[in-house]
Structure formats: structure tokens, C-alpha cells
């Protein structure tokens, strides 16, 4: 129906309701009297005209009544009340008296008929049309503003295939009450029972303010059921129109880390990046490419992408040219092991800041190839650091790992020695050299998440080394932001560490991924394979002698690392090719764990 026809139909219905209300009121008070008196006719005409005027003022003809709620009822109340008041005023002016009882009954019947005509469609639709559709019983977690909004949208949407049946909320004041005719059955502990009792097949978590730890707790309760679990989109995305309220999102493993992301000091980062030349090694890798994305936001004068793999560098270059067309972008295909090339690039590019993300990171592979780990992680870092010193770079930030703490693997040992190189360079150079440690990065190449997803996709089993193994986790964007923040905080020689919250059991991560993929552990089993060479049961972010208790920035700590025996490290670099793999591994671990201390450290 067109807008004009709709308004005409509503005005016609309202006219009949107004006249019926006033004549019935008069008849109820004086059944035997003549209804066509001047008082009654003038009152009826006045009431009719004033009703339409106030109905337009309160937009009663523009409301979508199938979604009617309290605000629409308030509009009806005002329109009816003011029209009756105007009618009473006209009676007083023309006839010097007001038919109070007639008008009172007219007011009540007027509201009843107008409200009934408007809300009857919603009642019919909610009670007869909607239940007739084949919809999925849905439990909404959170009976606050967001949860109520979701329930209302689902109740009134013909397109939505979800039927809300109850709320879950930990607020005792709401429990055992009803919201939108839906019971608030209890707290989070009632999720499993409610799913069984109400035959729930879908759960929506509708609490935007949830921390990741709280979301994880709720998700674990939902995981005890077979219902599909989703979360509400971000409120800012809903408000901006990017997504609808009913476009629910699957819970991602990143949502369950139990730690809120670190907020950046935007001004501090912008100060040392904006208008400067910035070079990123390993720019095609998971961390390096994300660092480049983050840097592009801060308008550098030039961003240089340096990497050994041409395909990965090409990929991030094309992405940045598309997403940041104003960015001055350059690429260098080079290996950090090529010392002359590093010095040449630094001399030509003259970067103000270097983010060194190039490294070999795969623990089992480096156990089998320790000499390659030395060449890339130690010699490569040494080459880039010394080239940075020669080119008088202002700030050098090295990406490190929690596996560098008390290392038991070749990869961890070479990263710790790389930290030693960086710390030593800070002592003898005018360049500020710092390192940044963090835990495992979700979604990075070689991380456990892609492996688990592939195993689940292939039907299992999901392989976990040990049921008690734990790790710290963070997302790629978080890791990259931390690296940028470290550059802003750098004074020289520090090892920055992120407060990563509580470590996560790998087996719990596997269980969550199985559940998030829509399977049960009966369908996708978990198999324990035993610890691999070089692996530790748990990782540390700082050694006992490295801990500074105070934070230098929210959730960021500065480690006080012990003095380094750089000469011993450099001696190893000179002769590592003449050692057997096992000898090289033992020497690396001895140096990284400070078991070799014959020589003193050079001073600045």
C-alpha cells in the first residue's frame, strides 16, 4: 500500500473510532436522550478535527505499527488527551459548561479503540503468524539493552529464522522476570539446563561490554551444549550501518584469549614515524606485513618493504597500494644474510626507523637445521643492526619471542643471542636498539591454529603434544601494535614485554576450535603425540633476573636483562660451520643461557 493510501485508510478508521467513542459515551450516560443535539454534534466535530491535528503532530500516521512499543503508545496518549482537552475547551467557550463525565468516558474509549486498532496487528502477527513459521529456538545471553534489541528484532522480522525463547542474565534483579514476554531463566550456570528444557538450537551472546575472559567463561558453558553459539556484531558497526543487528557473527578463537588488547599511544607513535623513512625486514611475513599495515596509518615519508620471498613482498605491496594509495612505498628483495646488500640498502635508503621482523621461527625445523637458524636469526640480525649503525638510523626495533627466555630450543637460543647482539649494539652505537618479546601469534605461519583448522577440515584427529602444555597467545594486530609502541618508548637497550594475561592450555584451544567449527570431540578426536625436540611445557616472558615490576606503559613491561657476553657469541658466528649439528646446538644453548662467561662486555 502506498503512503497516501495508508494515511487515508488510517484517517478513515480514526474518524469512525472518534465518532463512535463520543456517541457511545453519550449513549451510556443518557440512553434515552436525543444524540443529535448541538452540544454533541459540535463536540464530535471538534474532537474529530483536533484528533487528526494531534495525530499528525505526534506522527501517528507515520508509525510502523507492526513494531509498536511504548513510544508509540505514548504518542497515542498525547494525541487523544489533547484532542479531548480541546473539545472540553470548546464546550466551555460555546456552552459555558463542560460535559466532564461524557468526555472522561470518551477519553477512555478513544485510547482503547485507537490503541487497539494499532496494536491488534502486532498481537496477531506475534501470536499467530510468527509461531507458524518454522524457526529455530534461540537463547539470548544478556537481558540488557543489546539483548532486548536483538530479541525485538527477531520477534518482528519475517526474514529472521530465529525464534527467541528465553534470556540468560547474571543480574539477580532481572532473573525470574520477563522481558518482551520472554523469561529471564537465570544466570550463566543455567545455560545447559535451559538448552535442554526449551529445545534450544541457537545461542546468541548479546553483551557488548564483555571482556574476553568473561566471554570465554560463557562460551565454555555454551560448549557443553550442541547449540550453535554466535555473538552480536560490534555496536559501532551496527550504528554505522555496516551490519544489521541480526547479522550475528561466529565466535572466533581470538575472542577467547582472555585478555583485552593494548591501546596505543597514537601521538607517541606518530611522532617518530610520521614524515620519516621506515624500513621493515621480513615485510612479507605474518608479523612483518601487519607491522607495515599499522605503519601505513601514521603517514611515513616512505615505507620500505624488505624481504627474501618475492611472492610475499609482492602480496603485501599490492595490498598496501590498494588500501593506502597515498603511501610512498618501495620494495627490496634481499636476504638479511647478505651483509653487503644490507649495508648498501641502508646507505641508499637512509631509514629513520627499522623494524627487524625477519627470522626463522619454526622450533622443530630449527632443531634439525641449527646452522640455518644461526645464519638467519643471529648473523642476519647482526648484519642489519650493524648496517643500521653505519647508516645512523635513529631507532632499531627487533621482533623477539618468549622462547628466548631460558631457551631449550635452537630457535629460542638464536633469538636470545640476537637479543644480545641488539643490546651490545646499543652500547656501542648512537642508534637506539630495543627488542620486543611476545608469545605465540594466532594465525601466523607455522602457528598451531592453522594446523588445527586443517586437521579439523580433514576430519581429524587434532594432534596436541601434551595435555598440560600451555602457551601465551596474542593476535597478529596486537603483536604488531606492541612493536610500534616499543619504538615510541625506546630509550635504548630495553627488552619490552607485553602483559599477556593467563597462559592458555593448548588442549583447551583445540577443544574450542573443534566446537567453533561445528563439531564435537566425538566427531573430531584429540590425539596426544608427545613433546617434540626443543619444546617446553610452558613459556616465560621474562627470566627471574629480568623482571621489572612496574609497567612503562599500560600492559607493557621493560625487562632488565643481564650483561651479555657478546665476544663468545661472535666467536661462535665465526666458526659455527665447522661444528656438528649437536655441537652447535649445545653451544647455542650454553651461550643463550649464560653458561659461558669467560669474556667481559664491551662498554659504551
List the domain boundaries for the chain: 3-129, 136-251, 266-592
pLDDT at 538: 66
| 127-136, 316-325, 394-403, 512-521, range with the lowest pLDDT | 127-136
The string of pLDDT tens digits covering residues 191-219 is: 999 999 999 999 999 887 777 778 888 88
Per annotation, catalytic residue among 403, 415, 511, 515: 403
Q: Is the pLDDT of residue 256 over 90?
A: no
Could you tell me how many helices (H) and strands (E) the chain has, helices first?
A: 22, 22
**Between these two residues, 408 and 318, which has the higher pLDDT value?**
318
CA dist 423 and 229 (Å) reads 48
Q: Of 520, 512, 505, which is closest to residue 473 (Cα–Cα)?
A: 505
pLDDT at 122: 63
Most confident of 59-73, 275-289, 496-510: 275-289
The string of pLDDT tens digits covering residues 471-508 is: 777 777 777 887 888 888 888 888 888 766 677 788 88
pLDDT at 220: 84
pLDDT at 563: 66
Contacts 24+ apart (CB under 8 A), 196-201: 196/225, 198/137, 198/139, 198/165, 198/166, 199/137, 200/137, 200/138, 200/139, 200/165, 200/166, 200/225, 200/227, 201/136, 201/137, 201/138, 201/226, 201/227, 201/228
In this structure, the strands spanning 432-437 and 249-250 are: unpaired
| 22-31, 103-112, 380-389, 451-460, range with the lowest pLDDT | 22-31
Q: Is the pLDDT of residue 129 over 70?
A: no
Give the residue-averaged pLDDT of 31-48: 78
pLDDT at 444: 58
Give the residue-averaged pLDDT of 356-366: 90
**CB 592 within 8 Å of CB 569:** no
First to last CA, the chain: 84
Most confident of 184-198, 224-238, 327-341: 327-341
Confidence of residue 131 (pLDDT cuts 50, 70, 90): low
pLDDT at 497: 80
Give the residue-averaged pLDDT of 141-153: 87
CA dist 100 and 97 (Å) reads 9
Confidence of residue 601 (pLDDT cuts 50, 70, 90): very low
pLDDT at 132: 44
Give the residue-averaged pLDDT of 6-11: 80
pLDDT at 168: 92
**CB 496 within 8 Å of CB 434:** yes
**Between these two residues, 355 and 80, which has the higher pLDDT value?**
355
CATH class of 136-251: alpha beta
Topology of 266-592 in CATH? Answer: Rossmann fold (3.40.50)
Can you state the angle between helices 70-95 and 100-124, rounded to 10 degrees?
160
pLDDT at 529: 86
Q: Is the pLDDT of residue 468 over 90?
A: no
pLDDT at 334: 95
pLDDT at 381: 96
pLDDT at 599: 39
Residue 536 designated active-site: no
Q: What percent of the chain has pLDDT over 70?
A: 81
Q: Is the pLDDT of residue 5 over 60?
A: yes
Give the residue-averaged pLDDT of 93-109: 85
pLDDT at 275: 93
pLDDT at 361: 85
pLDDT at 430: 94
Q: Of 467, 365, 359, which is closest to residue 414 (Cα–Cα)?
A: 359
The string of pLDDT tens digits covering residues 328-359 is: 999 999 999 999 999 999 999 999 999 999 99
Q: What percent of the chain has pLDDT over 90?
A: 27
Give the residue-averaged pLDDT of 585-596: 81
When the pLDDT of each residue in the chain is averaged and rounded to a whole number, the result is: 82
pLDDT at 421: 93
State pTM to two decimals. Answer: 0.64
The string of pLDDT tens digits covering residues 515-558 is: 777 777 888 889 988 877 666 676 665 555 555 556 677 767 77
- Kindly calculate the radius of gyration of the chain based on its CA atoms and give it in whole angstroms: 35
pLDDT at 604: 34
pLDDT at 319: 94
**Between these two residues, 117 and 432, which has the higher pLDDT value?**
432
CA dist 539 and 441 (Å) reads 13
Confidence of residue 438 (pLDDT cuts 50, 70, 90): confident
| 21-30, 392-401, 540-549, range with the lowest pLDDT | 540-549
Confidence of residue 286 (pLDDT cuts 50, 70, 90): confident
pLDDT at 37: 76
CA dist 523 and 514 (Å) reads 9
Q: Is the pLDDT of residue 446 over 70?
A: no
Amino acid at each position: 500500500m502506498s503512503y497516501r493510501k495508508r494515511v487515508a485508510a488510517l484517517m478513515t478508521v480514526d474518524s469512525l473510532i472518534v465518532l463512535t467513542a463520543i456517541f457511545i459515551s453519550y449513549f451510556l450516560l443518557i440512553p434515552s436522550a436525543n444524540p443529535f443535539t448541538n452540544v454533541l454534534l459540535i463536540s464530535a466535530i471538534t474532537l474529530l478535527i483536533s484528533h487528526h491535528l494531534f495525530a499528525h503532530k505526534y506522527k501517528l500516521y507515520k508509525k510502523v505499527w507492526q513494531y509498536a512499543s511504548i513510544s508509540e503508545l505514548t504518542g497515542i496518549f498525547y494525541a487523544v488527551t489533547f484532542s479531548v482537552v480541546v473539545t472540553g475547551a470548546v464546550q466551555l467557550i460555546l456552552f459555558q459548561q463542560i460535559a466532564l463525565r461524557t468526555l472522561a468516558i470518551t477519553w477512555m474509549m478513544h485510547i482503547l479503540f485507537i490503541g487497539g486498532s494499532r496494536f491488534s496487528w502486532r498481537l496477531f502477527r506475534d501470536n499467530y503468524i510468527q509461531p507458524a513459521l518454522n524457526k529455530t529456538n534461540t537463547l539470548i545471553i544478556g537481558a540488557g539493552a543489546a539483548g532486548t534489541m536483538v530479541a525485538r528484532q527477531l520477534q518482528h522480522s519475517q526474514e529472521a529464522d530465529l525464534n527467541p525463547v528465553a534470556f540468560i542474565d547474571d543480574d539477580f534483579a532481572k532473573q525470574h522476570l520477563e522481558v518482551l514476554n520472554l523469561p529471564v531463566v537465570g544466570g550463566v550456570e543455567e545455560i545447559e539446563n535451559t538448552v535442554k528444557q526449551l529445545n534450544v538450537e541457537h545461542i546468541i551472546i548479546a553483551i557488548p561490554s564483555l571482556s574476553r575472559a568473561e566471554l570465554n567463561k560463557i562460551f565454555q558453558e555454551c560448549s557443553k551444549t550442541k547449540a550453535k553459539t554466535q555473538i552480536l556484531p560490534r555496536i559501532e558497526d551496527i550504528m554505522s550501518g555496516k551490519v544489521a543487528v541480526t547479522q550475528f557473527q561466529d565466535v572466533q578463537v581470538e575472542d577467547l584469549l582472555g585478555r583485552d588488547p593494548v591501546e596505543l599511544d597514537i601521538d607517541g607513535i606518530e611522532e617518530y614515524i610520521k614524515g620519516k623513512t621506515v624500513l621493515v625486514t621480513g615485510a612479507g611475513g605474518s608479523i612483518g606485513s601487519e607491522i607495515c599495515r599499522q605503519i601505513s596509518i601514521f603517514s611515513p615519508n616512505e615505507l620500505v618493504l624488505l624481504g627474501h620471498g618475492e611472492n610475499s613482498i609482492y602480496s603485501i605491496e599490492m595490498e598496501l597500494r590498494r588500501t593506502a594509495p597515498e603511501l610512498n612505498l618501495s620494495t627490496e628483495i634481499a636476504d638479511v644474510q647478505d651483509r653487503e646488500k644490507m649495508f648498501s640498502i641502508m646507505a641508499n635508503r637512509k631509514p629513520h626507523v627499522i623494524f627487524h621482523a625477519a627470522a626463522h621461527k619454526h622450533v622443530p625445523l630449527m632443531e634439525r637445521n641449527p646452522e640455518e637458524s644461526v645464519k638467519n636469526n643471529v648473523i642476519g640480525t647482526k648484519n642489519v643492526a650493524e648496517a643500521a649503525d653505519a647508516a645512523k638510523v635513529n631507532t632499531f626495533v627487533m621482533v623477539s619471542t618468549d622462547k628466548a627466555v631460558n631457551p631449550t630450543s635452537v630457535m629460542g637460543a638464536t633469538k636470545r643471542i640476537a637479543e644480545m647482539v641488539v643490546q651490545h649494539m646499543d652500547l656501542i652505537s648512537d642508534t637506539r636498539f630495543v627488542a620486543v618479546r611476545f608469545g605465540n601469534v594466532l594465525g601466523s605461519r607455522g602457528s598451531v591454529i592453522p594446523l588445527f583448522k586443517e586437521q579439523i577440515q580433514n576430519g581429524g584427529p587434532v594432534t596436541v603434544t601434551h595435555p598440560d602444555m600451555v602457551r601465551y597467545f596474542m593476535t597478529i594486530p596486537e603483536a604488531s601494535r606492541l612493536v610500534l609502541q616499543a619504538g615510541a618508548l625506546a630509550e635504548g637497550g630495553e627488552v619490552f614485554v607485553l602483559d599477556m594475561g593467563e597462559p592458555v592450555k593448548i588442549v583447551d584451544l583445540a577443544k574450542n576450535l573443534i566446537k567453533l567449527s561445528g563439531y564435537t570431540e566425538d566427531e573430531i578426536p584429540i590425539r596426544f603425540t608427545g613433546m617434540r625436540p626443543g619444546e617446553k611445557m610452558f613459556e616465560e616472558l621474562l627470566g627471574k633476573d629480568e623482571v621489572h615490576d612496574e609497567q612503562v606503559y599500560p600492559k607493557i613491561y621493560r625487562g632488565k636483562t643481564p650483561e651479555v657476553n657478546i665476544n663468545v657469541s661472535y666467536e661462535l658466528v665465526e666458526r659455527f660451520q665447522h661444528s656438528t649439528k649437536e655441537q652447535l646446538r649445545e653451544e647455542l644453548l650454553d651461550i643463550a643461557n649464560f653458561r659461558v662467561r669467560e669474556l667481559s662486555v664491551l662498554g659504551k
